Amino acid sequence: MAPLDTAQNSTENLREFGVQNPPEQKSNIFCLPIIGQIEGHIVLPSQNKTTKYEHVLPQLVAVEENPDVAALLVLLNTVGGDVEAGLAIAELIKSLSKPTVSLVLGGGHSIGVPVAVAARYSFITDSATMTIHPIRLAGTVLGVPQTCEYLEKMQDRVIKFVVANSKCSEETFRDLMFRTGELARDMGTVLVGKEAVRAGLIDEVGGLSQAVAKLREMIKEDAEKKHSSGAKGPPPSLPEIDPPKPYGPEPEGTS
């Protein structure tokens, strides 16, 4: 590469990412961020940070089809968004044949809950939160019984998906969704870190190293299953990795 091109790339990286040379990703794990608001059929204002579902769906298809991608890591920091767009993303993540792990970082609120539980295994950090509340409608609302029936059916779709893909019972999830007195001017519940694990929504409290280590473990298990089911030759070798460090603060008295 010519020196001029290198200088231009460094300047562009500095403007966009704050560093001259961002680290190159050489991995068989594909990282999919779900950030801001999940945008559906209506385009949101330009000042909103959004994840467009028409961008995410083709990426998930590519993950399934690409032989160089062995697993999917979903990073969640979302306030929720369009219900049908969120469910579409969740259904595709659930139906992937490759190992999937989700990691809730800042928040996995509203329709972000089905996306988080759609992965085979889920993590949440200590400080991350998940808000569970009833379905809402925006725009023109007709004051007829059919509107209430439509809302109830949509809500049932979300509840059934979450219950089917987590350890949370329907009774518990409905109680969290319709609880009063916790959210200002609304019904619902905010779960912080370990509370989401205790409720059965998330599998484990952990961070990035735990999520990647779990994916490596799942990749190895899938490779061994394929080999034992009749594949010829030795199972594919996987790169050696260091075990993940314990999540959370170090115990007192250690250096």
In the set 102, 110, 122, 166, the catalytic residue is: 110
In the set 133, 166, 169, 227, the catalytic residue is: 133
Own/partner long-range contacts of 163-169 (Cβ < 8 Å, ≥24 apart)? 165/90, 165/94, 165/114, 165/117, 165/118, 166/117, 166/122, 166/200, 166/201, 166/202, 167/200, 167/201, 167/203, 168/199, 168/200, 168/201, 169/200
Please say if 227 is a catalytic residue.
no
Please tell me what DSSP assigns to residue 181. Answer: S
Please say if 110 is a catalytic residue.
yes
Hey, what are 178's tokens? Answer: 């319709």
Three-class SS of 21-72: CCCCCCCCEEEEEEEEEEECCCCCCCCCCEEEHHHHHHHHHHHHHCCCCCEE
CB 92 within 8 Å of CB 105 = no
Q: Residues 6 or more apart from 66 whose CB is under 8 A from it?
A: 30
Active site residues: 110, 133
